[in-house]
Chains A and B, each alone.
Chain A
Amino acid sequence: MILLFEQLLNGLQYGVTLFLLAAGLTLIFGIMGVINLAHGALYMVGAFAGAWVSIQTGSFWAGLVSGLAASAVAGILVELGIMRRLYARDHLDQVLATFALILIFNQSTILIFGRQPLFTSLPPVFSGSVEILPGLPYPTYRLFVIAVGLAVAVGLYLLINKTRVGMLVRAGATHRQMVRALGVNIKGLYTAVFGLGALLAGLAGVMASPILAVQVGMGDEIILATFVVVVIGGVGSVKGAFVAGLFLGMTDTMLRAFLPTLLQQVMPGPEAQALGVGISSMGIYLMMAIVLLFRPRGLFAAQG
């Protein structure tokens, strides 16, 4: 029982990380119609900038601020310099351009920081663990990550539903042509949305950096799972990204944790292990396939 609860928390924490990445991606996707493969590269930029500054200054918080700034600036520069010219183009041209950006970001990171992964450590405040249930110590930092993720979700909800910018964003996600026709400063809106998406990706990167290896290509590994979240949630829907992110994070963790043991009831140990892990690696893709077969536009499709 305690194990189950702990695994649920682990799933929640993975889920909010996916949400931070997917929220930006789904907005960029929904509003500008851009398939941004380079979103993972912005996550990497955040992690590297954050880790490097915290090594130099010895402060996690200075690293957090610089990571956010670096990824947002990188995002805005990419939008102004490149993406802006591609909105009117085919999806496929955007795929090629953002693929090129991945190559450029990865190789530039090697040139700047070298090939070795960077050292990172927990901020001292969060380095311990809390006993959330009797006999269940849980790392404080992971609770902090969950809290930040939920806070961002609330913030995004307020931004999108209660502000004028949010209204434009909502309108842009559902009736792109209409917003443009109404003479709204669509260019500024696009840059802002792209920058916001990059900022959230950078936040995910900085938050993950004490837990994971800060290395070149770290964004390429997580970008697929992020796209799965966006598609299951429904393109353009932040709510969908939140629900799908948590759902996917939890299912993924649960499958990994319990499927092999369950399979061991019906087959010999080692085979059950191998098969169980095999199925849980495919798990998120299986889930996406199932969701799409029943709801071809995802759970919360923004666009009709």
Chain B
Amino acid sequence: MKKLLTSTGMLLALMAPAYAEATKIGVITTLTGPAGYLGEQIRNGLTLGLQATGVEFELVVEDDARDPNTGVQAADRMLNEEDIKILTGIVFSNVSGTVVPETVDSGAIYVSPNAAPSSLAGAECHPNYFVVSWQNDTLHEASGAAAKSLGYTTAVALAPNYQAGIDAIAGFKREFGGEVTEIFTGVEQSDFAGEMAQIRNAAPQVVFQFHPGGQGISFLKQYQQSGLLGSVPMVLSEPSYDGVILQAVGPAAVGLTGTTHWNADFDNEASKAMVAAWAEAHPTTPLTTYGQQAYDTGLLIGTALNAVGGDGDVEALRDAIASAEFASTRGNFAFGPNQHPIQDWYMTAIEADADGNPVIVTKDKILEARGDVYSADCQM
């Protein structure tokens, strides 16, 4: 498969001489610290996505250590010294806060594979700024809709006490409509025994929780250990049950309901090609939605570069990206007025495979062609 893709790329390269020179793409992402695996997923996904389009490219990767100062320093060097016209890769909103304005103000393009703070989605939207992942709020609206469609009316919703967590619970409540008990957890909390007792005491029909990364691992393990798994159903949005989290918690995740914009069992050509390419390139690492978002980002950038013949004409490249004419691994994909995605959301079940390990199985589509609420404030 990979060979085939590479040879098509070479064929294309022969047909159009403009492709001969590799386009440099700047990747600023988080590779150190507990969240380092997210940056690794994004870097690897981008590489495979770009390879799949056959474009000639060179990735310039730098670690931002989740620090806005380090991130903007890397952006400055890429934009002004290496003359890179297209940047991507950021995991965390705080790094976007410095890098995105710097990039678009200097006339270059930023395409986000993950971070999508609401501050950049509304009035501060920009023609050179694109988001391929999702807008934060929609992630959790999907979970609310799923819990509602399952017929639940009372819920306990838990999230860390920072902006993304508060937004998560708000998004869940918006679509759920039932009675919700809110519990905010600590920003760096890792022991949730107290919360487990509160959940048991409240005895809701369903639990919704948003805890990405390490916190999510701790939460799921302790949910099982406290005996709640199996007695109170749980609905979660995709950052709280990515492939790496599932690998770390094992059987403690079986029986949960998830919501996502993509899953490994999607039946479209692009997704199948990606899953195969990932399995070949990274056999021991599970592919997560972070990797998938980055792969889609790679497809989008690569397709646009192919269409306009490199990054010589940034405006043409921007228009090519805005048209979003690429075969997304999630099926339907379009940009809304603020250049954030309009896409479908699905409900998934986490089931046990033959060895008892968790595997995510796609169920129903619960939201269709969903954009975000901030696009109304965006004037471009």
Direct contact of A and B (CB under 8 A): yes
- Cα–Cα distance between A278 and B165 once the two chains are bound (Å): 13
A189 contacts chain B at the CB level, 8 A cutoff: no
The answer to whether A253 touches B32, judged by C-beta atoms less than 8 angstroms apart, is no
A80 contacts chain B at the CB level, 8 A cutoff: no
The answer to whether B227 touches A139, judged by C-beta atoms less than 8 angstroms apart, is yes
| Pick from A10, A13, A210, A273: contact of B184, CB under 8 Å | A273
The answer to whether B190 touches A253, judged by C-beta atoms less than 8 angstroms apart, is no
Main SS class of interface, A: helix
- Cα–Cα distance between A212 and B183 once the two chains are bound (Å): 20
The answer to whether B249 touches A119, judged by C-beta atoms less than 8 angstroms apart, is yes
- Cα–Cα distance between A218 and B201 once the two chains are bound (Å): 30
**Known A-B contacts A6-B197, A212-B218, A257-B197; A274 and B225 likewise in contact (beta carbons under 8 Å):** no
Cβ contacts under 8 Å, A118 to chain B: 248
- Cα–Cα distance between A127 and B247 once the two chains are bound (Å): 19
For B160, the closest partner residue in chain A by CB is A277
The answer to whether B248 touches A117, judged by C-beta atoms less than 8 angstroms apart, is yes
- Cα–Cα distance between A127 and B226 once the two chains are bound (Å): 10
**Known A-B contacts A274-B166, A278-B161; A7 and B37 likewise in contact (beta carbons under 8 Å):** no
B221 contacts chain A at the CB level, 8 A cutoff: yes
A270 contacts chain B at the CB level, 8 A cutoff: yes
For B285, the closest partner residue in chain A by CB is A116
Tell me the B315-333 residues at the A interface (CB within 8 Å). none
Tell me the B208-241 residues at the A interface (CB within 8 Å). 213-218, 221-222, 225-227
Give chain B's interface residue range (CB within 8 Å of chain A): 35 or more
Give chain A's interface residue range (CB within 8 Å of chain B): 35 or more
Main SS class of interface, B: helix
Tell me the B244-270 residues at the A interface (CB within 8 Å). 244-245, 247-251
Tell me the A166-199 residues at the B interface (CB within 8 Å). none
Distance from B40 Cβ to chain A, minimum over Cβ atoms (Å): 5
For A137, the closest partner residue in chain B by CB is B227
The answer to whether B194 touches A139, judged by C-beta atoms less than 8 angstroms apart, is no
The answer to whether A139 touches B191, judged by C-beta atoms less than 8 angstroms apart, is no
Cβ contacts under 8 Å, B182 to chain A: 269-270, 273
**Known A-B contacts A7-B194, A122-B225; A217 and B186 likewise in contact (beta carbons under 8 Å):** no
Distance from B256 Cβ to chain A, minimum over Cβ atoms (Å): 17
Distance from A130 Cβ to chain B, minimum over Cβ atoms (Å): 11
For B37, the closest partner residue in chain A by CB is A115
Residues 55-83 of chain B: 1 if any A CB is under 8 Å from the residue's CB, otherwise 0? 00000000000000000000000000000
B106 contacts chain A at the CB level, 8 A cutoff: no
The answer to whether A273 touches B183, judged by C-beta atoms less than 8 angstroms apart, is yes
The answer to whether A211 touches B184, judged by C-beta atoms less than 8 angstroms apart, is no
Residues 283-320 of chain B: 1 if any A CB is under 8 Å from the residue's CB, otherwise 0? 00100000000000000000000000000000000000
The answer to whether A10 touches B193, judged by C-beta atoms less than 8 angstroms apart, is yes
**Known A-B contacts A119-B249, A256-B186, A277-B185; A139 and B218 likewise in contact (beta carbons under 8 Å):** no
A141 contacts chain B at the CB level, 8 A cutoff: yes
Cβ contacts under 8 Å, B33 to chain A: 106, 216-217
The answer to whether A141 touches B184, judged by C-beta atoms less than 8 angstroms apart, is no
B34 contacts chain A at the CB level, 8 A cutoff: yes
Residues 103-139 of chain B: 1 if any A CB is under 8 Å from the residue's CB, otherwise 0? 0000000000000000000000000000000000000
For A117, the closest partner residue in chain B by CB is B248
Distance from B217 Cβ to chain A, minimum over Cβ atoms (Å): 4
B355 contacts chain A at the CB level, 8 A cutoff: no
- Cα–Cα distance between A129 and B229 once the two chains are bound (Å): 13
B379 contacts chain A at the CB level, 8 A cutoff: no
The answer to whether B194 touches A107, judged by C-beta atoms less than 8 angstroms apart, is no
- Cα–Cα distance between A270 and B184 once the two chains are bound (Å): 9
Contacts A/B (CB < 8 Å), 5 sampled: A14-B193, A115-B40, A119-B248, A213-B216, A221-B188
Instruction: Give A contacts to B, CB under 8 Å.
Output: 3, 6-7, 10, 13-14, 106-107, 110, 114-122, 127, 129, 137, 139, 141-142, 210-218, 221, 253, 256-257, 260, 269-270, 273-274, 276-278, 280-281
Instruction: Give B contacts to A, CB under 8 Å.
Output: 31-34, 36-37, 40, 161, 166, 182-191, 193-195, 197-198, 201, 213-218, 221-222, 225-227, 244-245, 247-251, 285
Starting from the known contacts A121-B250, A257-B197, A257-B198, 8 additional A-B residue pairs (CB-CB under 8 Å) come to A122-B225, A139-B225, A212-B191, A213-B213, A213-B248, A215-B34, A221-B188, A256-B185
4 nearest A-B residue pairs (beta carbon): A213-B214, A213-B217, A10-B193, A115-B37
